[in-house]
Amino acid sequence: MQKKLIALAVAGLASTGAFAQANVTVYGVADATFDVVRASGDAQNELGNTTRVSTNSSYIGFKGAEALGNGLTAVFQFESGVGFDNNGALGATRDSFVGLSGGFGTVVLGKLTAPTRALGGAVDVNAGATGIGSNGALLGKLGGGLVSGATPFNTAVQDAALCGRSSVCVSPFDDRWTNAIAYVSPSFAGLNATVAYVANENKAFHGAATSANTSGYDVGVKYANGPLMAAVTYNAVRFGDTDSTKASDLRVGGVYDFGVASIRAIFDRVRGDDNFGRATQNVFGLGGTFNVTPAGKIIGQAYLARDVKADGKSVDDTGAKLFVIGYEHSLSKRTILKAVYSHLNNDKNASYDYGINAVGLNSVNGASNGAGGVMSTDGATLQGVQIGLRHSF
């Protein structure tokens, strides 16, 4: 089963074998697909078909360790995304850190995948938890308005965040935290805990034009033993903007692997507060895999985002549904041929986009429709097919 999780990199260090070598290891993934994506709404705002080549979270990394004696090991990792379908560039855009590991556990500092993001990736059925079928389309987005890197949402109006075409369009809880420090406990009979803190390094000084003072924490407890993995995580963040925006995400999820098949489930509850009020939303996900041959498996998952509640009252038609079916065929231990069909159905007042390789749905909100009116992509339906190859090295 060539399932490669977007695992919490620091949690992986709790395994003493992870960095047994003294030399630097070069590793990565090259994943490319040919996509046909269709975005449709009402007749006036029909967006039509798009074809593209996507490189689905491809990356290259360098990691290593040095034994220091007395049971201590220095560890490091630099990891960069590689968008080789266009003019990409290398940089520490993915999990990159330096730290110390020993009998006490592991402490690392840098840009980190924290427990909440790791759990979302662990239950996703797609290899690498990437592509248009990933569960990042719905998890943690609070009506589509809470997206990493965008201006924080406004709970009074639930504005959809702007996500450009082919961009990453996930919630802050499903992105990596910069300026972070994390502690990972040793594993006790399959049980371990992770605590991460995000420093307020972006704090604006007095007189700054834009208010900013982002800080947060992410905690998780995970049990992994035999065929069962189960975890509970909680992530809270204060954006420190002029609207006093803060958000939190509670997740409970797990995977049971039967050998020939697996089943995965997750519950996600996100909450946002600002000067305008409070908003909450629940998301439910269920997925599974089934090995039809020794080298091939069917994957599928369904996610439901319920209506947003503003100050306890439901905001009608602000939810969405995601349905994914696909097939992955292992040509070797490192190479997979894959085909995925994804269907994202927005309610009439919602505007979710794919989490990985967004269509750019919300980037046209407020633009002219060419007929003297203003376009709105609320209620749009996204359908896409990806066919391609994933190679790990």
Q: What domains can be seen in the chain, in order of their start residue?
A: 9-392 (2.40.160.10)
**Sequence-ordered list of residues with C-beta below 8 angstroms from that of 103, at least 6 positions apart, any chain:** 71, 186
Nearest to 125 by CA among 269, 324, 305: 324
Cα distances from 19 to residues 11, 98, 104, in angstroms, run 12, 13, 16
Q: Looking at residue 3, what is its pLDDT?
A: 36
Q: Judging by DSSP bridges, how do beta strands 320-330 and 296-305 pair with one another?
A: antiparallel
Residues 85 and 31: beta-carbon distance below 8 Å: no
Cβ atoms within 10 A of the Cβ of 294, count? 7
Phi, psi of 201 (to 5 degrees): -70, -20
Q: Looking at residue 149, what is its pLDDT?
A: 80
Residues 158 and 35: beta-carbon distance below 8 Å: no
Q: Looking at residue 259, what is its pLDDT?
A: 96
Q: Which residues of 120-142 are buried (b: 16+ CB within 10 A; e: fewer)?
A: bbbbbbbbbbbbbbbbbbbbbbb
Cβ atoms within 10 A of the Cβ of 292, count? 12
Cβ atoms within 10 A of the Cβ of 72, count? 13
Q: Looking at residue 156, what is its pLDDT?
A: 60
Four-point Cα dihedral 312, 380, 124, 98, nearest 10: -80
Helix (H, G, I), strand (E, B) or coil at 386: strand
Q: Looking at residue 6, what is its pLDDT?
A: 33
- Dump strand ranges (E) for the chain: 25-40, 48-54, 59-69, 72-81, 96-102, 105-112, 177-184, 191-198, 215-225, 228-238, 246-257, 261-274, 277-291, 296-305, 309-310, 313-314, 320-330, 335-346, 381-392
Reported as half-sphere exposure (CB side, CA atoms, 13 A), residue 152 has a value of: 26
Q: Looking at residue 161, what is its pLDDT?
A: 66
- CA–CA gap between residue 111 and residue 178 (Å, rounded): 4
Residue 162 DSSP class: P
Token duo for residue 374: 């203003």
Residues 271 and 280: beta-carbon distance below 8 Å: yes
* Token pair 């050998």 in the structure block, residue: 259
Token duo for residue 30: 């090259």
Residues 287 and 302: beta-carbon distance below 8 Å: yes
Predicted confidence pLDDT, tens digits, the chain (393 residues): 333 333 343 444 333 344 444 589 999 999 999 999 999 875 445 567 889 999 999 999 999 999 999 999 999 999 999 989 887 677 778 999 999 999 999 999 999 999 999 999 999 999 999 999 999 999 999 988 888 887 677 676 556 667 888 889 999 999 999 999 999 999 999 999 999 999 998 888 866 667 788 899 999 999 999 999 999 999 999 988 888 889 999 999 999 999 999 999 999 999 999 988 999 999 999 999 999 999 999 999 999 999 999 998 999 999 999 999 999 999 999 999 999 999 999 999 998 999 999 998 765 544 434 443 334 568 889 999 999 999 999
